[in-house]
Structure 1
Amino acid sequence: MNRQQRMHLYDIQNRAYTEGTVEQINDQWIFFDEETEEAAMLEDFVQQEIEIFRMNRWKKGILKEAGKIRIGNELIMLRDQDLVRIRKHLIYSLERLLDGINDDAFFQFVTTLNSLNFSIFDCIYCYNHLSFLSDEHRKDGVNFMVFDNQDEICNVQHHFCYYEKINDRFEFTINTGKRLIIEKLIS
């Protein structure tokens, strides 16, 4: 799995974007979150990935300044009530953890999490013990993650041992009592 395949898995995650509409009020662009109905200054998202819904499809670009999106070589001007979605950011420690595990463990973790109706963007807490072991020859320990999809809570323990063999074990526990364990061992 290369970086592009990992990024595709990020792109297809549920709840990867905050959707809403934009309005120009007193010469300022305001973003209204569709789910929470909260308002935010669009300029707070400058230089971030944003998508605009035009001609019955989402067009991906970068917000260059409030009211303007660069899509390739084209500069698109926003209009009042345009439907947009802004890419959410992962919790930093989770992002580092996902970058640090091998491709097979990454794929199994994300697809299993998705099968339980959770997204990596549902993460509300991540303790990444692996990041503290970067200089060590033998790396073993446990990482802790908590996910909230608004219906259920999922706790994940990632037991790892990277020494002569690579061992990743993920234990998923949902607040309903459902449990699932997956393990990946590479010699």
Structure 2
Amino acid sequence: MNRQQRLKLYDIQHRAFNEGTVEQINNQWIFFDEETDEATMLEDFIHQEIEIFRLNRWRKGILNEPGKIHCGKEVILFRDHDLIRIRKHLVYSLERLLDGVNDDAFFQFITTLNSLNFSIYDCIYCYNHLSFLSDEHRKDGVNFMVFDNQEQICNVQHHFCYYEKVNDRFEFTLNTGKRLIIEKIIS
């Protein structure tokens, strides 16, 4: 699995975006989050990837100044009540962790998490012990992650041992008591 295939899995995650509308108020563009009803100055998202819904499809571009998205060579100007979505950022330690695990473990972790109705963007806490072992020949320990999808909480323990064999074990525990364990061993 190459980097592009991994990014494709990121793209299809639920709750990967903050969706809402924009309005110009007092010559300033404001983003109104559909889920939380929070209002945010659009200038807070300068130089970030933003998508705008135009002509029945999402158009991806970069917000270089409030009110304008650059989609390649085209510039799209906002209109009041345009529907936009802004990609959420992953918790940094989770992003580093996902970059550090092998392709099989990455795929199994993401698909299992998704099957439990959670997204990697639901992560509210991640302790990545693996990042502290970068210079070690034998790497073993546990990473801890907590996910909240607004309906349930999921705690994940990632037990790893990278030495003669590569062993990744993920233990998923939901607040309902449901538990699921997956393990991948590569010799």
The amino acid of 2:12's aligned partner reads I
- Pairing 1:86-165 to 2, within 5 Å after superposition: 86-165=86-165
Gaps (5+ residues) in structure 2?
none
SS in 2 for 1:90: coil
Measure, in 2, the Cα distance between the counterparts of 1:120 and 1:175: 17
How far apart are 1:74 and its partner, in Å?
0.9
Instruction: Give the aligned partner of residue 178 of structure 2.
Output: 178
Q: Deviations over 1:26-67 (max 9, x none)?
A: 110000000110100000001111100000111111111101
The amino acid of 2:96's aligned partner reads R
The amino acid of 2:47's aligned partner reads Q
Instruction: Give the aligned partner of residue 6 of structure 1.
Output: 6
How far apart are 1:178 and its partner, in Å?
0.4
Instruction: Give the aligned partner of residue 47 of structure 1.
Output: 47
Measure, in 2, the Cα distance between the counterparts of 1:104 and 1:46: 36
Measure, in 2, the Cα distance between the counterparts of 1:118 and 1:11: 14
How far apart are 1:128 and its partner, in Å?
0.2
Q: Deviations over 1:110-129 (max 9, x none)?
A: 00000000000000000000
Measure, in 1, the Cα distance between the counterparts of 2:47 and 2:184: 38
Moved over 4 A (4+): none
Measure, in 2, the Cα distance between the counterparts of 1:84 and 1:8: 20
Instruction: Give the aligned partner of residue 72 of structure 1.
Output: 72
Measure, in 2, the Cα distance between the counterparts of 1:88 and 1:111: 19
SS in 2 for 1:99: helix
Range with bigger deviation, 65-74 or 88-97 = 65-74
The amino acid of 1:107's aligned partner reads F
The amino acid of 2:135's aligned partner reads D
SS in 2 for 1:161: strand
* Aligned length in residues: 187
Q: Deviations over 1:118-173 (max 9, x none)?
A: 00000000000000000000000000000000000000000000011100000000
Identical amino acids, percent of aligned pairs: 83
The amino acid of 2:77's aligned partner reads M
Measure, in 2, the Cα distance between the counterparts of 1:51 and 1:86: 7
SS in 2 for 1:79: coil
Measure, in 2, the Cα distance between the counterparts of 1:112 and 1:18: 23
SS in 2 for 1:105: helix
How far apart are 1:73 and its partner, in Å?
1.4
